[in-house]
């Protein structure tokens, strides 16, 4: 019994569409609500309006205990995301090179602990991390969030950068060393530029990690003046006052857009990086 | 001097590992033996926190452990089966349509956690503003308070679906790497579509499949933020798994000692899983 291949494809398409529709609906609804005035009771915007987008960038809707302007919140989010990115590029760029190229005592131990940490869910250590940050006296600072989030992202990052260094022919390095380049020059001027694609991927992943972080900001930051977009949005959702769904959708979309763009940018490289060497 | 150079390169990495993995892991054990509270100072109480847990002196712990098992099994099933199904179906469909479906199913991964939680809270909102209730009212059915009626189911769906993009992406790549001749040969030999999936494709992608299963087991076991935002673990612990219970004990009730004892259970469980499957998690070591 053979079903015609064409019919089979159509059936498959219908099946996929049914499976995907609820998910698609969620995002379409988010979009339509953000460009409507008043909550939607159907699936089509009945009063199209850019009201909440204008509100977002001028004066936020009045609600008790909420900030008045979005700009400092965006600024804080960028500080956290940028901080995680810069720290991770620095740490992974250095360590990835050493692990790939240099010989040192304890390298085996470091490699096997990195392997375990790659799978180890750092979130379980949250209570003790809070304790450590308390003793470092950096609770309620951006530094606390940046350090913790960077620590969470850097195992994967080091691994990716190490892979990129592994692929660079050793002759390049040897030639430079014969020419008398110092270690720092060799690393900074010659090796680092050669792994630029790897740094780009790791940098973007770190930025996304910092940008989307919720639990660290929520746990380690107490002042409203240091809120990031995630905690701001969560406070809006959790606030007991009547919720403006148009505005919530707009904040959500605005918060989501940079992440979608960045993922779109690195998605191909990401799959390859994760699979690289694993499946052949 | 020259011998020191490698250590300068790895120093920042080592410092961060010490501060955020080693010291917290050791401190968790230490704190779990104290009655530490809000002041972040505590007296040594020996194994009291652990006996409180294991002798079921804590009346909700049984419930919480049961929740953890249901949640883990449900979310894993959705993530793995969903990802496998979508990777296969989009590959068979091919072309622009396949790419379109993969794109939509990648969206959850590109959604910040708070936004993802918000979508679920909103979709199942008990008022007429909720997406589901709105659709129901359009076809003349009454709305309901979905989140308090089926908290566990919603939490399982929200987390399970969130895992699909990762599973689907990796499995798509793995399926794409299967030589075309193998599939074609078995088709000529008369294998049906399902037979090809179960007898040929799945064995050939066994490694990524087990990697993803372990990875997500660890991830579901320890993440709690979506549950915290969507149901808050309630009503009455109905959707509280161990990880969320740990967080709430520590940061809501400020019982850091007991919270750390709970965290120790999660740490030991994770280490057992990781060491048990080290070979697979090691991406075959050389990668």
Q: Given B12, B40, B118, which is nearest A237 (Cβ)? A: B118
Classify residue A54: in a domain, yes or no: no
| CB contact A124 to B (< 8 Å) | yes
Please list every residue in chain B whose beta carbon sits closer than 8 Å to the beta carbon of residue A263: 106, 109-110
- Tell me whether residues B10 and A94 touch, CB distance under 8 A: yes
pLDDT tens per residue, range B199-244: 888 888 888 888 889 889 999 999 899 999 999 887 888 889 999 9
Tokens standing for residue B77:
């099933």
- Kindly state whether A103 is in contact with chain B, defined as any CB-CB distance less than 8 angstroms: yes
Regarding whether A25 and A120 lie in a shared domain, the answer is no
The whole-number pLDDT of residue A3 equals: 59
Subunit contact A237:B114, Cβ cutoff 8 A: yes
Q: For A128-177, what is each residue's pLDDT tens digit?
A: 899 899 999 999 999 999 999 999 999 889 988 998 988 888 888 888 87
Full DSSP string of A238-274:
H-SSPP-HHHHHHHHHHHHHHHHHHHHHHHHHHHHHH
Q: Is residue A253 in a domain?
A: yes
Q: Is the pLDDT of residue A190 over 70?
A: yes
The percent of residues above 70 in pLDDT, for chain A, comes to 92
The structure tokens 């499995």 sit at B171
A24 lies in some domain: yes
Query: Quick one: A33 and A109 in the same domain?
Result: no
Please check whether residue A60 lies inside any domain of the structure.
no
Q: Which candidate from B9, B112, B177 shows the least CB-CB separation from A255?
A: B112
Query: Is A151 inside a domain boundary?
Result: yes
For A234, B171, B253, the CA distances from B164, given in Å and listed in that order, are: 24, 10, 34
The answer on A158 and A89 residing in a single domain is yes
* A163/B287 CB distance under 8 A: yes
pLDDT at A167: 87
- One domain for residues A75 and A38: no
Look at residue A280 in the predicted model and tell me its pLDDT: 26
Residue of B nearest to A152 (CA): B20
Q: Both A83 and A44 in a single domain?
A: no
Say if the Cβ atoms of B93 and A26 lie within 8 Å: no
The pLDDT score that the predictor gives to residue A276 is: 43
| Any B CB within 8 A of A126 CB | yes
Residue A48, SS3 per DSSP: strand
Residue A278 belongs to some domain of the structure: no
Give the end-to-end CA distance of chain B in Å, rounded to a whole number: 31
Structure tokens at B122: 């909103």
ipTM of this predicted complex? 0.88
Domains for chain B: give ranges and CATH numbers: 27-57 (no CATH), 62-256+268-281 (1.10.3720.10)
CB B218 to CB A259 under 8 A? no
Residue in chain B closest to A145 (alpha carbons) equals: B20
Find the range with the poorest average confidence among A214-218, A235-239, A266-270, B130-134. A266-270
Total CB pairs under 8 A between chain A and B: 253
User: Does residue A35 sit in the same domain as residue A126?
Assistant: no
pLDDT in tens, A52-107: 888 888 877 777 678 888 899 999 999 999 999 999 999 999 999 999 888 888 88
Residue B134 binned pLDDT confidence (cut-offs 50, 70, 90): confident
A276/B contact by beta carbon, under 8 A: yes
Domains of chain A: total:
2
Q: Which domain holds residue A163?
A: 71-273
Residue A279 clears pLDDT 70, i.e. is over it: no
Q: pLDDT tens for residues A5-30?
A: 788 888 888 989 999 999 999 999 89
User: Could you tell me if A83 and A140 lie in one domain?
Assistant: yes
Is the pLDDT at B49 greater than 90, yes or no? no
Measure the CA–CA gap between A66 and A69, rounded to whole angstroms. Answer: 9
The tens digit of pLDDT for each residue in B138-153 reads 888 888 888 888 999 9
Question: B262 CB contacts (<8 Å, ≥6 apart)?
Answer: B53, B242, B245, B246, B249
A255 touches chain B (CB under 8 A): yes
Whether A63 is covered by a domain: the verdict is no
Helices (H), chain B: 5-17, 23-32, 48-54, 61-93, 95-106, 113-123, 131-138, 146-149, 151-176, 180-188, 193-195, 202-204, 206-222, 225-230, 242-251, 256-276, 278-281
Residue A9's pLDDT is what?
84
With a pLDDT cut of 90, the percent of chain A lying above it is 38
pLDDT of residue B188: 85
Cis peptide before B235 (omega within 30 of 0): yes
Tokens in use for B21? 């993995």
The residues in A 22-81 lying below 8 A from B, measured between CB atoms, are 23-27, 29-30, 39-42
Q: Residue A48: beta bridge partners? A: A36
Mark whether A24 and A104 lie in a shared domain: no
Torsion of CA A40, A41, A44, A48, to 10 degrees: -40
Let me know if residue A113 belongs to a domain: yes
| C-alpha of B277 from chain center | 17
Per-residue confidence band for B286, with pLDDT thresholds at 50, 70 and 90:
very low
Same domain, A19 and A90: no
Q: Are residues A33 and A86 in the same domain?
A: no
Q: Do B20 and A118 touch (CB under 8 A)?
A: no
Q: Within this chain, do residues A152 and A213 fall inside the same structural domain, yes or no?
A: yes
Is there a single domain that holds both residue A78 and residue A178? yes
């Amino acid at each position: 019994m053979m079903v015609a291949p064409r019919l089979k494809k159509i059936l498959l398409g219908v099946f996929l569409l049914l499976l995907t529709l609820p998910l698609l609906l969620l995002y379409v609804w988010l979009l339509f609500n953000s460009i409507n005035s008043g909550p939607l009771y159907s699936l089509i915007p009945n009063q199209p309006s850019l009201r909440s987008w204008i509100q977002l960038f001028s004066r936020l809707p009045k609600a008790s205990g909420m900030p008045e302007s979005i700009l400092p919140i965006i600024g804080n989010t960028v500080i956290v995301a940028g901080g995680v990115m810069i720290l991770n590029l620095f740490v992974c760029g250095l360590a990835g090179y050493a692990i790939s190229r240099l010989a040192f005592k304890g390298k085996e131990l470091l490699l096997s602990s990195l392997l375990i940490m790659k799978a180890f869910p750092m979130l379980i250590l949250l209570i003790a991390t809070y304790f450590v940050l308390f003793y470092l006296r950096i609770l309620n600072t951006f530094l606390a969030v940046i350090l913790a989030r960077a620590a969470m992202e850097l195992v994967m990052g080091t691994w990716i950068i190490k892979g990129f260094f592994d692929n660079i022919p050793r002759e390049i390095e040897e030639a430079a060393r014969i020419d008398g380049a110092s270690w720092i020059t060799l690393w900074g001027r010659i090796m680092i530029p050669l792994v630029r694609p790897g740094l780009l991927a790791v940098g973007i992943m770190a930025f996304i990690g910092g940008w989307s972080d919720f639990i660290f900001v929520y746990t380690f930051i107490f002042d409203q003046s240091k809120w990031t977009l995630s905690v701001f949005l969560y406070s809006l959702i959790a606030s007991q006052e009547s919720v403006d769904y148009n505005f919530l959708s707009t904040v959500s979309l605005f918060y989501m857009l940079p992440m979608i763009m960045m993922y779109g940018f690195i998605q191909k490289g990401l799959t390859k990086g994760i699979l690289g060497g694993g499946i052949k | 001097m020259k011998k020191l150079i490698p250590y300068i390169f790895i120093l920042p990495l080592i410092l961060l590992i010490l501060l955020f993995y080693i010291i917290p892991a050791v401190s968790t054990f230490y704190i779990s033996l104290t009655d530490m509270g809000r002041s972040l100072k505590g007296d040594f109480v020996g194994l009291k926190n652990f006996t409180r847990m294991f002798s079921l002196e804590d009346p909700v712990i049984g419930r919480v452990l049961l929740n953890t098992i249901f949640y883990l099994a449900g979310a894993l099933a959705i993530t793995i089966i969903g990802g496998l199904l979508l990777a296969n179906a989009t590959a068979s469909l091919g072309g622009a349509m396949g790419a379109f479906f993969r794109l939509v199913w990648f969206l959850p991964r590109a959604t910040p956690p708070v936004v993802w939680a918000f979508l679920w809270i909103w979709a199942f909102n008990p008022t007429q503003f909720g997406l589901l209730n709105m659709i129901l009212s359009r076809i003349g059915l009454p709305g309901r308070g979905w989140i308090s009626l089926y908290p566990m189911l919603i939490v399982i769906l929200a987390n399970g679906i969130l895992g699909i993009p990762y599973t689907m992406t990796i499995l798509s790549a793995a399926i794409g790497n299967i030589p075309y001749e193998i599939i074609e040969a078995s088709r000529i030999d008369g294998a049906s579509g399902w037979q090809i999936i179960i007898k040929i494709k799945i064995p050939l992608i066994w490694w990524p499949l087990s990697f993803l299963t372990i990875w997500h087991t660890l991830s579901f076991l320890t993440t709690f933020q979506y549950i915290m935002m969507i149901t808050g673990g309630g009503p009455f612990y109905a959707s509280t798994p161990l990880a969320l219970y740990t967080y709430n004990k520590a940061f809501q009730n400020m019982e850091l000692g007991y919270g750390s004892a709970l965290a120790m259970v999660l740490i030991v469980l994770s280490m057992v899983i990781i060491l048990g499957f080290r070979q697979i998690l090691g991406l075959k070591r050389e990668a």
